[in-house]
Each structure stands twice: as structure tokens, then as C-alpha cells.
Homo-oligomer: A and B are copies of this chain.
Amino acid sequence: MEEKFRRSLYPELDDIDYGIVRALQENARLPFTTIAKELGVTEKTIRMRVQQMQDDGVLSLVGIVNPVKAGLNVESFIQIAVEADKLDDVVEVLNGIVEVRLIVLTTGDYQLFIQILVRNYEELAQFLMKKLNKVPGVTRVNVINELKILKSKFKFVR
């Protein structure tokens, strides 16, 4: 551990934070010295800000793999209707399933919306029959298969 002192809570991102985010969302390995020069502050300032934003869950610097290149060729969105009193249990089970990438509580006819990634349709069928339909409390599912991603944007800050 290096620094002992931190800003207490996160009020708002200031201009320097936004500058940092704008730079790092393009390239997570951009040298802090480069960002520092650009923003007219010292490298240590950048380092501190980045550390703090990471600690506060504002910013993550991560490697993302193209799923297709990792052999995960089939992506599906699944809406799931659940018995009201079993919702927590269902979420807990889904949480433990590796194929499940995203679980969202939503408005509408179905309470849950999940996104899954599998290698092929055989695995999708297995997932639906052996896993999802066996979860107690699940009453109805609506599977929407992804045919093609037409746009995917990770950059939130402009």
C-alpha cells in the first residue's frame, strides 16, 4: 500500500477525471505520463486519480476477449418468468451458471432478463433443457437468439 489518504466519497467526476477516462477507455495501457502531459498535471496526480476511481468502482481497466475468437459462437438473450417468492433462489442458481454473463431484473411480463454465451447450439440446447428448465420457480422462458451484432459500444464518456 502506498498512499494513506483518500478523498472520502465520490461526489462527481471533475475535468481531470473525465480527461483520464476519455484517454483510458481507448487504451487502458496508455502511459500516465502521456495523460499527465495532455492534461497539464503531474504523473502522480493521474496515478492517484486512477487508483481512486478504481477503488470507488468508477473505472475498470480490463482486457476484453472477443467471445467468438474464444470459441463462444452462440449468444442468446433469455427472458425468464419466475414465481414471485422464488425470485431470489432463481437468481442465486443463475449466478452460479458459467454460461450466464448478465442477469437483470426488469419491468414487463418477465422478471428476469439474462444473456448467455455458449460454444454452439448443442450447448444452448443443453443449457435450456438441463439447466434453465430445471431451476425451481422458473415458469416460462422466451429465448431470443442473436444473429449478428451490428453495433457494440463500450465508451460511455464523450
Contacts and interface: CB of A to CB of B under 8 A. Distances in A.
Interface of A: 10, 12-13, 21, 24-29, 56-67, 69-72, 77, 79, 91, 94-95, 98, 100-108, 112-113, 117, 142, 144-154, 156-158
23 contacts: A24-B63, A25-B63, A25-B64, A26-B62, A58-B69, A58-B70, A60-B63, A70-B156, A70-B157, A72-B156, A77-B77, A95-B150, A100-B151, A101-B153, A102-B152, A105-B148, A105-B149, A105-B150, A106-B144, A106-B146, A106-B147, A108-B144, A113-B146
Given A106-B77, A153-B102, A158-B98, A65 B147 contact: no
A68 B145 CA distance: 28
Given A28-B28, A69-B58, A157-B70, A146 B64 contact: no
Contacts of A147: 104-107
A124 to B, nearest CB: 12
Contact of A113 (B67, B106, B144, B153): B144
B145 A106 contact: yes
Nearest to A106: B144
A63 B62 CA distance: 6
Nearest to A72: B156
Contact of A105 (B24, B70, B146): B146
A59 B156 CA distance: 19
A100 B154 CA distance: 11
Contacts of A151: 91, 94-95, 100-103
